[in-house]
A and B are shown apart, each in its own frame.
Chain A
Amino acid sequence: MGITFLLNGETVTLQDAAPTTTLLNWLREERGLVGTKEGCGEGDCGACSVIVQDGDGTRALNACILFMPQLNGKSVRTVEGCAAPDGTLHPVQQAMVDHHGSQCGFCTPGFISAMVAAHTNGATDYDDQLAGNLCRCTGYAPIIRAAKVAATQPVPKWVETNVPPKAQAHDMSPTTVDDLAAAYEQHPNATLVAGATDVALWVTKQLRDLDPVIFLGACDDLKTVEVTENDITFGAMVNMNRMRDVIAEYHPSYGEMIRRFASTQIRNAATVGGNVANGSPIGDNPPALIALNAMVHLRKGNAHRSLPIADFFIDYGKQDRAEGEFVEKISIPRQVDRLKVYKLSKRFDQDISAVLGAFSVTVTDGIVTDARIAFGGMAAIPKRANAVEQSLIGKPWNDNTVAATWDAWEADFSPLTDMRASARYRLTTARNMLTRYFLEDIGADVSVLEVSA
């Protein structure tokens, strides 16, 4: 499809961009811009990070899982375009030289891109900004030192002034949800591409050919967030960083979980709709949304329907979604915040959960009056802990009640053993998460992330 974008400040128009050619391959193989590196081809190492700017601002994205049509109407800056036209280094680049932030140098272009994006945005949560960039040489300390020094310097003009060009129109890249509904009804076999953080792996790792493909990125009316007295509603195309910003205010623990959800680059691309729609049993949003009693709103053509999100997940790889039907919105009822979300993974950042537990237990006068508990990683689908909930409701909120749920866990879950964790560990920690929830509720310190030396 025809696309127009800016590359390091220069307008590029492609009349026929293949839908599944990645930006990384195009840069390296077609454009000869080999500064951007392939480290993994799945968005997990950040060596391919580039800077993308549009009306929504500046963000780092992984070029290895970014399809060319997603760039239509945007501005792309690669490591080659971070220095000034006269060769003056960007403050981030200079600081990385001065503070020994590179050793083998292979991850460095990706770090530079992620750091320039963070610098442009004035972000100083360096560990989170760089969680998606792996470095095997330095141990990260000098990179953070460099980032801190660069933060004292202003954003250079050549990075800040980057006006994106007008996008080319295309049937398979609708600009409204109505057009999307029409296009998908017409091509019900199409692959919908939201952020491509999952679909791109079908191409880069499974080597699949996808055709046809509908890109959702231009549907601005799918990117809205609406907060009313009754609900918080996210359009399906709201990315995970935006969702984090919104949800953190109402459910801080959910926000904290999203901080650890993949990486900045992935969260800049990944959407809440995509994370729900792909039905992964280890997606991190669904358990939290189930615990919050969220609704998923589906659309097919002009037909709309809504259902509790827990009912959307039927079986492994199977969701309650008809051909040509898509997730339009997710809504969360406003409620008193009782939610805690516990993400357990081998590594804290940028890791798929072994177990993700979401708990919302309502206690009135010392008695449990309601409980919504859901897990990822414990079954073939994101699943509610019905027996555990029943075992709690009506009981006094104390450690005996927590201990008495013991048998209910096995009634609810028989998890698998895989490379992330054993079945036994999963079941044990799921149980222990309820203990953690209880202890946290009564004021105990339970998070290693909040301890210092």
Chain B
Amino acid sequence: MSIARPLPHDTAQLHVTGAARYVDDIPTPANALHLAFGLSSIACGTIADLDLSDVRAADDVVAVLTADDLPFENDVSPSIHDEPLLSDGTVHYLGQPLFLVVATSHLAARKAARKGMITYEESTPIFTIEDALAANSRFEEGPRIYSRGDPEQAIANAPHLIEGTLELGGQEHFYLESQAAMVMPQENGDVVVHSSTQHPTEIQHKVAHALGIPMHGVRVEMRRMGGGFGGKESQGNALAVACAVAAIKTGRTCKMRYDRDDDMIITGKRHDFRITYRVGVDDQGRVQGIDFMHYTRGGWAQDLTLPVADRAMLHSDNAYHLPHVRIESHRLKTNTQSATAYRGFGGPQGMVGIERVMDHIAHHLGMDPLAVRQANYYAADGSQSTPYGQTVEDFVLHEMTDQLVESSNYHVRREAIAEWNAANPVLKKGIALTPVKFGISFTLTHLNQAGALVHVYQDGSIQLNHGGTEMGQGLFQKVAQVAASRFGVDMDFVRITATDTGKVPNTSATAASSGSDLNGMAVKIACDTIRARMAEFLAEQHQASPDDIRFQDGNVHVGDNVLTFQQAAALCYQNRIGLSATGFYKTPKLAWDRIKGEGRPFYYFAYGASVTEVVIDTLTGENRILRTDLLQDAGASLNPALDIGQVEGAYVQGAGWLTTEELVWDGKGALRTHAPSTYKIPACSDRPDIFNVALFDNENREDTIYRSKAVGEPPFMLGISALMALSDAVAACGDSYPDLNAPATGERILDAVQKQQGGGDA
């Protein structure tokens, strides 16, 4: 049985030998052309004059395109057609593509792209939340509000009122492979597109619109990405469309990859948030009523801001029952990069909000924050529902928390830390345990569908294809494990092929942690269709019942007769049995009204819990994670090695978001942290010294693929315990509540420490 085995990534061998091919590694025809965008140098205004004569005259330039040269639609938005590929004369952010250079080399294109002489008429840009609120600059007509019960009254009646504000920075994806696309023109005006994208169908759709052809004229292929994390859900559109337009115009293969700095300046990032809260609690720290305000900067174009902000609202409860609750969400339009999907998709931001509240309540009441969290946990018996009315049926966090408290020795360490802090004037330690409850499904319900195409060849080898994309998460291997297990064969029978819109159409983005759930099921269905045909035929041949045919150990057992799988496949072929099938799956039970904020947006929840211990330096704010213990609910894991890999990596990425990863824009709207020299993702030594990771023994109560659970995004939020541990360490420096904002850089920590010490400004 291939299911549940800790097999390595399907292309691990190719990774370590450098043989795994990414878009920029695909051999290009000798006459291929290379593209680069000319970017705006202001954040807001109009173009008075676009003098591109020096660009056109630059060495090795073949063509220079502006919006006027685009044959059909000038739009690369995944949502509401508000994102021109090339500026229509208006400038919305600093770094916006204005024109497109087509040259004979990547370097020549980059050099020429800097030679534009552009005169602007500048307008006053909108950068901050305050700017946007003052100008009523927003997406949607007004704030979205979800509520239940009577929070005002509940807060007023509660014995304790706690209020606060939390600032949460955005996050650059920093996939190691920057965005890339290559388009090869075909006969009949068709194109073949190679794109580093999580969403081949979206690329197909946008390219077809840009070329004015039906989707059947565009075939998108994607074998693997060098990381995605949400950053390649919509942000690859511009490159693919640019290449397609240029390829059709020149009749030559066109390729584009962003230089790292360009990538960071042009593309969207995680949404930053400001969350304010007013909460009424009882003496045991239980929330009686709560009122959240979310403000998020969506940047210049809508992109995926609405569902991101929705998901932040939908995770404002995290693991806690909020009987009376109101969440108001402002989605603001600003002259910055268009914020986009990023692992967790708003969920992490909403979740940090309520975790901050729990931390604040504990400090206010002088309780252990863990006790406050546990006091507010959803009931395990399924008697409670979320603020949006979904019953929490499978709440396993009580048990998970107990298990983690014990394995991490939380209580003993917490006491030891208090003693250590009393003895150390300069350095202070902190510890925190935080839970995660993350909703699994696209909140746009129709996206919860997937297709697969499976072929069994007459030699018994199996080729499979599905709509999901591989970005490192091991999806292909998990799905191959499903296929091998359905046919009862070894993994080497199964070959996984590049995602291809010509094989499986109308796919959803590989996003929302849905990859294995959706595609695993679609593949299973396709395999079972073929298996049923084979079984029916073999049963008939041997006068047996199809139910008695077993596919296992590389063989097909027909009563007492045993055929190898190869023999069975050959026999079926010779007897004209169809050995190819599609599979289609749609997630059941979903019903969601995003305007009212009511229903069941999620098929199920994935759970997790983490304990982090940190140390801070009260002289400089320097800090380190000393130990981390993680426990993640992956249901009945399809592949525990790959799942643990997701959990470890997600934690470090989540902790990075909340600590060292700081995006800084200057007063002109220029992103100052646009390269790894200035934007600091965790390095090797930033991982915890002691790093214990385990999967919780569980089965999905819902009928998912082999009862597994999604694992891509949920463990990202385990990183929240790092922020809360830092808050705990700062709290050890004085009596007031630390109010630590994120990212908790050394500077923010030192500020918070000095506030604790009563020093204020130094």
A, B in one complex: yes
Chain A positions near chain B (C-beta within 8 angstroms): 25, 32-42, 44-45, 47, 78-80, 82-83, 89, 92-94, 96-98, 100-109, 112, 126-128, 130-131, 133-144, 205, 207, 342, 344-352, 418-422, 424-425, 427-429, 431-433, 435-436, 439, 444-449, 451-453
Q: How far is the CB of B286 from chain A (nearest CB, A)?
A: 31
B15, B111, B425, B677: the one contacting A44 at CB < 8 Å is: B677
Pick from A82, A127, A424, A452: contact of B685, CB under 8 Å: A127
Shortest C-beta distance, A47 to chain B (Å), equals 6
Q: Give the docked Cα–Cα distance between A342 and B746 (Å).
A: 14
Q: In this assembly, does B684 line the interface, its C-beta being within 8 Å of a C-beta of chain A?
A: yes
Q: How far is the CA of A109 from the CA of B427 in the complex (A)?
A: 39
Q: Are B750 and A429 in contact (CB under 8 A)?
A: yes
- Tell me if B22 is interfacial: C-beta within 8 Å of chain A: yes
Whether B229 sits at the interface, judged by CB under 8 Å, is yes
In the complex, B18 has a CB within 8 A of chain A: yes
Are B651 and A139 interface neighbours, CB within 8 A?
Answer: yes
Q: Is B20's CB within 8 Å of the partner chain A? A: yes
CA distance A39 to B15 in the complex (A): 15
Q: How far is the CA of A138 from the CA of B641 in the complex (A)?
A: 12
Question: Is the beta-carbon distance between B472 and A347 smaller than 8 angstroms?
Answer: no
Question: Quick one: which of A36, A139, A447 has the most chain B CB within 10 A?
Answer: A139
- Contact B649–A137 (Cβ < 8 Å): yes
Measured between beta carbons, the chain B residues less than 8 angstroms from A449 are: 624
Q: Taking the nearest CB of chain A, how far is it from the CB of B491, in angstroms?
A: 14
Shortest distance in angstroms between B426's beta carbon and chain A's nearest beta carbon?
5
Residues of chain A contacted by B627 (CB below 8 angstroms) = 453
26 pairs, A vs B, C-beta closer than 8 Å: A34-B24, A37-B226, A78-B18, A100-B642, A103-B474, A103-B649, A104-B177, A106-B22, A108-B16, A108-B20, A131-B683, A131-B685, A134-B174, A134-B681, A136-B173, A136-B229, A136-B681, A137-B649, A139-B650, A140-B687, A141-B693, A346-B662, A346-B745, A424-B761, A445-B427, A448-B615
| A411, chain B: closest CB distance, angstroms | 16
Give the nearest-CB partner of B674 in chain A.
A419
The reply to whether A44 and B676 contact each other, CB–CB distance below 8 Å, is yes
CA distance A53 to B606 in the complex (A): 49
CA distance A451 to B690 in the complex (A): 12
Q: A106-B176, A140-B652 are in contact. Are A44 and B675 (CB under 8 A)?
A: yes
Beyond A139-B653, A444-B425, whether A427 also contacts B762 by CB under 8 A is yes
Q: Does B25 contact A (CB under 8 A)?
A: yes
Return chain B residues, CB-CB under 8 Å to A33.
Answer: 18
User: How far in angstroms is the closest Cβ of chain B from A112?
Assistant: 6
Query: Is B176's CB under 8 angstroms from A446's CB?
Result: no
**Chain B residues near A130 (CB-CB < 8 A):** 684
* Chain B residue at minimum C-beta to C-beta distance from A104: B472
Within 8 A of A (CB), among B163-177: 173-177
Given contacts A134-B676, A140-B682, A451-B626, 18 further A-B contacts (CB under 8 A): A35-B18, A42-B677, A44-B675, A89-B13, A106-B176, A109-B15, A131-B685, A135-B176, A136-B176, A136-B229, A140-B652, A207-B107, A207-B110, A346-B745, A348-B683, A429-B750, A446-B426, A452-B626
Most buried by A among B24, B261, B620, B691: B620
Bound-state CA distance A126–B683 (Å) is: 12
CB within 8 Å of A: which residues of B? Answer: 8-9, 11-22, 24-25, 27, 107, 110-111, 114, 173-178, 224-229, 259-261, 413, 424-427, 429, 471-474, 613, 615-617, 619-624, 626-627, 641-642, 644-645, 648-653, 660, 662, 664, 672-673, 675-678, 680-687, 689-691, 693, 745-747, 750-751, 754, 761-762
In the bound complex, residues from chain B placing their C-beta under 8 Å from that of A348 are: 622, 624, 683, 685-686
Is B114 a contact of A429 with CB atoms below 8 Å? no
Q: What are the residues of chain B within 8 A of A347 when measuring CB–CB?
A: 660, 680, 682-683, 686
Contact of B12 among A102, A420, A425, A428 (CB under 8 A): A102
Q: List the A side residues contacting B613 at CB < 8 Å.
A: 453
Determine how close the nearest CB of chain B comes to the CB of A211; give it in whole angstroms: 15
Looking at the assembled complex, report how far the CB atom of A272 sits from the nearest CB atom of chain B, in whole angstroms. 20
**In whole angstroms, how far apart are the Cα atoms of A38 and B263 in the complex?**
13
Contacts A41-B259, A41-B260, A139-B687 given; indicate if A446 touches B672 (C-beta within 8 A).
Answer: no
**Beta-carbon contact of A102 and B227 below 8 Å:** no
- Determine whether the beta carbon of A352 is less than 8 Å from that of B677: yes
Pair A42/B676 contact, Cβ less than 8 Å = yes
Contact present for B427 and A82 (CB under 8 Å): no
Q: A40 touching B260 by the CB < 8 A rule?
A: yes
Residue of B nearest to A35 (CB): B18
Residue numbers in B under 8 Å from A136 (CB-CB): 173-176, 227, 229, 649, 653, 681
Residues of the A chain whose Cβ atoms lie less than 8 Å from the Cβ of B224? 104-105
CB-based contact A419/B691 at 8 Å: no
Least CB separation from B6: chain A residue: A100
| B680: A residues at CB distance < 8 A | 345-347, 351
Task: Tell me how far the C-beta of B49 lies from the nearest C-beta in chain A, rounded to whole angstroms.
Answer: 24
Complex Cα distance A133/B259, Å? 18
Query: CA of A350 to CA of B684 in the docked complex: distance in angstroms?
Result: 10
The reply to whether A446 and B687 form a contact with Cβ atoms under 8 Å apart is no
Question: CB-CB < 8 A to A429: which residues of B?
Answer: 619-621, 750
Q: Tell me the complex Cα distance, A422–B746, Å.
A: 11
B673 to chain A, nearest CB (A): 5
For the complex, what is the distance from the CA of A445 to the CA of B428, rounded to whole Å?
A: 11
- Nearest-Cβ distance from residue A228 to partner chain B, whole angstroms: 36
Check if A39 sits within 8 Å of B176, measured CB to CB. Answer: yes
Q: What is the minimal beta-carbon distance from B28 to any residue of chain A, in angstroms?
A: 10
Which residues of chain B have C-beta atoms less than 8 A from A82's C-beta?
Answer: 17
B260 touches A448 (CB 8 A): no
| CB-defined contacts of A143 to chain B, threshold 8 Å | 684
A266 CB to nearest B CB, Å: 11
Question: Within the assembled complex, what's the spacing in Å between the Cα atoms of A79 and B14?
Answer: 11
Q: Does A207 lie within 8 Å of B652, measured CB to CB?
A: no
Contact A142 B21 (CB under 8 A): no
Question: B429 — which chain A residues lie within 8 A by C-beta?
Answer: 451
A420 to B224, CA, bound (A): 34
Chain A's nearest CB lies how many Å from the CB of B424?
Answer: 6
- In the bound complex, how far is the Cα of B474 from the Cα of A372, in angstroms? 55
In angstroms, Cα B260 to Cα A143, docked, is 24
Q: How far is the CA of A350 from the CA of B682 in the complex (A)?
A: 10
CB–CB A83/B17 < 8 A: yes
Q: Give me the 10 closest cross-chain CB pairs, A-B, nearest first.
A: A35-B18, A106-B226, A104-B472, A105-B15, A139-B652, A79-B18, A453-B627, A103-B472, A44-B676, A428-B762
B380 to nearest A CB, angstroms? 31
Closest CB in chain B relative to A415 CB, distance in Å: 13
Asked whether, in the complex, the Cβ of A141 is within 8 Å of the Cβ of B260, the reply is no
